[in-house]
Structure 1
């Protein structure tokens, strides 16, 4: 069967407020649950997007195998197989389950456990039935443990829009952040090294997949990357985590721009502007981090560190705002329900993802090739436009990489990304140099020793030459999609 659910993360105090106000129309059913998760020592199930657990509630034990897209964020649909079992040893005699495990059954062992106190309700909203589960507890792996406080909204019948309406009601009672980690993923992360900045990873795509489905999968992966880095920033003011949070928002905005021909609804422009707002809230902190790395004097570095503290405090305030939390729920709903395709050209939506990607990549390549033909003599604004176009092209090349998976295509893709990276690096350095004077002036640091070193004319002359050479290499690098 399939499950469709939305997950939200709460604070302990927030969960207490929710239980006190109880907006779900009835008293909760309360159960103590213990779940044991199984995998091989090499995590073979996890690598294939599978999770296997046995959950005990009272005297009942239910074994569940789930197969889903690990790139999904917040709201997702996935296959699952359940059956009662007598003990804490998996029973794997179902032929479909055996096929999914692909011979790993003899190597399975318990890896970690989840202990929770579950409060559950069944909520009726029009034609929709929603199962609500508030889980308070911990994840235990070897000698480590981590607290767990989340609420899951699972659609049992009716429209999935009811999930998001109920999520907004919860967020009005207590701050609720979009959840992107399953309990299984929490356990694996606890077994691994300490988590920091999370970079983008390839999203599973196939050439037979429609353009609309490919967009939804990539967009969900961008949301997940953002939320993981946002969470990491809650632990420490790490420059890499902030950079990757900003990158994830830029990737999502670029994806929406790249795929805008698929959209035909009134919410697209609003969501695009809100994503632009949230990304801009990270801009000052990122720019200051870049200048700190290049600062040549102790005085400038010290003053920039002070400014950095204020900038990161502003980022934290933005992340904790109801505007940012609502945006995550709104975008997840928009991606998941796909109302954007109701009035659009159905033939375009059902176009193969590979054909759609090739057309997109052709258009972006021509824009970068033509726009960067005279970088040395162009003004800063023109170079900035080329930089934005190059960024979109690189993101598109990364988004659609799995669609070009022959040996020759993979080799050409690596060379193309190397050429794009070199061009982007030089254009980025030129942009940092162009924006540094205004940034320093805004921080009242223009006259501090070492400030002018951030945008010297000699450095710019060399960067312009290097950027022009990188553009020549880019133009002469074979396109992997053709």
Structure 2
């Protein structure tokens, strides 16, 4: 049986001659339990080229301690990690191998390091006797087996301190403990994990710090990380994972297009095509989920005397079939060779970024201006469209261009700070209003098909007609909201973009 535990911890290097501080003087710490000593022996597994570690994941089989067994660590947001624990067993659990199928992509998971740790722990308690944090002083010896390109196995040793928050503690506690550690002379560790330190793996950085390429690549890398993390989340069948995977993929694809003056088109366009394929394959699952929730909620708001027949039950049955089909499509996509090749392309882009010659902020402004002009052009076209399918299509196009511009604003925040925030906020409001209009149109189209089928089978389609009318009004309201946002305040080019 698997146990999932979120870890919020900070690591510190141990300078020569340094001594741990007196924790009893820290605000909120009433008493200290310990010390207790434990011997840990962990075997770490990865592909030969360390795909798991480079993507932010670790996999180990550890003996010793209360949580002995197989552990997989995955990012949990905010710098935290979630540890998935499996009971001790001779071989790797099949569930773990499946979990990392998209990261390993057919490469064998082999032992890449063995870490033996002598751990001395203290538990910090509050006034009520509840645990605030655990302080662990670790003496680590790492043995790295011979790999391709290395002459022999290597052994290295070091000391480090980990401070892990207990479940009920807040980050303010971590900050106070961190301040005490800094005062005592313990610097924050530059290594993200023990394994990264043992293997001397550092996060790749662009050589052009401060350039347009550095700004764009930082955002691309962030979204690439999200794609990989959602790969794991989808395989775990976590809520909202498919949606978040689509969002990350869309952000990647939009960024690779918007910032073509920074990235060579010949290298990035093939990846953009694969990302678009991926998004389309995942779209059904998310669309069905949202539409099912919306329509069940809408039925609940219709007066009972106007609900003729088992409408809710029919909606449930209809969307259950749709969800099953969509889930099968997602499963086949995640196992597809084409998907694995897409991830390979993404890794290649990050390992060897196809940057054009050195570009500065001027290139970023130019790309953002073009994205904004595309938004304005799409809106202008919608203003001359005929009400009905033509207008709906034009507004959908405007929505997509607005979304791309908003993603560009997200990427530019580190370079332009406050200047970009107001523009991004305006774009987000426009996108949301257009999204309401588009969702109402697509939901209305689904209701029309359900009404036709109900009528054809001899049922009463009256309630579907009411629901359709409600969606029509939602769509009109979204459109009115969009027009109000577009004209007041006027959607002019922001000064910083000129």
TM-score class, shorter: 0.5 to 0.7
- Alpha-carbon separation, structure 2, partners of 1:114 and 1:103: 19
Displacement of 1:377 in angstroms is 5.2
Secondary structure at the aligned position of 2:496 is classed as coil
What corresponds to 2:366 in structure 1?
A: 359
Displacement of 1:247 in angstroms is 0.5
* Structure 1 residues 114 and 355: CA distance shift in structure 2, 3 A: closer
Q: In the alignment, is residue 55 of structure 1 matched against residue 55 of structure 2?
A: no
* Structure 1 residues 284 and 33: CA distance shift in structure 2, 3 A: same
- Alpha-carbon separation, structure 1, partners of 2:266 and 2:451: 43
Displacement of 1:253 in angstroms is 0.3
Secondary structure at the aligned position of 1:209 is classed as coil
Query: 8 Å contact 2:234–2:242 — kept in the other structure?
Result: yes
Displacement of 1:333 in angstroms is 0.8
Task: Find the partner of 1:106 among 184, 188, 199.
Answer: 184
- Alpha-carbon separation, structure 1, partners of 2:333 and 2:408: 28
Task: Find the partner of 1:7 among 45, 51, 55.
Answer: 51
**What are the residue-to-residue correspondences of 1:373-412 with 2, within 5 Å?**
373=380, 375=382, 378=385, 379-405=391-417, 410=418
Query: 8 Å contact 2:117–2:138 — kept in the other structure?
Result: no
- Alpha-carbon separation, structure 1, partners of 2:359 and 2:49: 28
Displacement of 1:481 in angstroms is 3.1
**What are the residue-to-residue correspondences of 1:196-345 with 2, within 5 Å?**
209-238=210-239, 240-264=240-264, 266-295=266-295, 296-297=298-299, 298=312, 299-338=314-353, 340-341=354-355, 344=356
Displacement of 1:423 in angstroms is 1.0
What corresponds to 1:467 in structure 2?
A: 482
Secondary structure at the aligned position of 1:351 is classed as coil
* Structure 1 residues 451 and 227: CA distance shift in structure 2, 3 A: farther
- Alpha-carbon separation, structure 2, partners of 1:416 and 1:214: 18
Displacement of 1:224 in angstroms is 0.7
Secondary structure at the aligned position of 1:260 is classed as coil
Q: Give deviations 1:375-415, integer Å, cap 9, x for gaps.
A: 4653222212211110111000111111123xxxx2x5443
- Alpha-carbon separation, structure 1, partners of 2:200 and 2:448: 48
Displacement of 1:30 in angstroms is 7.2
- Alpha-carbon separation, structure 2, partners of 1:272 and 1:217: 17
* TM-score, structure 2 normalization: 0.55
- Alpha-carbon separation, structure 2, partners of 1:265 and 1:370: 23
- Alpha-carbon separation, structure 2, partners of 1:260 and 1:470: 29
Once superposed, what is the RMSD of the aligned Cα atoms? Answer: 4.8
What corresponds to 2:79 in structure 1?
A: none
Query: 8 Å contact 1:206–1:402 — kept in the other structure?
Result: no
* Structure 1 residues 394 and 114: CA distance shift in structure 2, 3 A: closer
- Alpha-carbon separation, structure 2, partners of 1:29 and 1:373: 58
Query: 8 Å contact 1:375–1:383 — kept in the other structure?
Result: yes
Aligned residues: 335
Larger radius of gyration: 2
Secondary structure at the aligned position of 1:56 is classed as strand
* Structure 1 residues 331 and 294: CA distance shift in structure 2, 3 A: same
Q: Which has the higher contact order (CA 8 A, sep 6+)?
A: 1
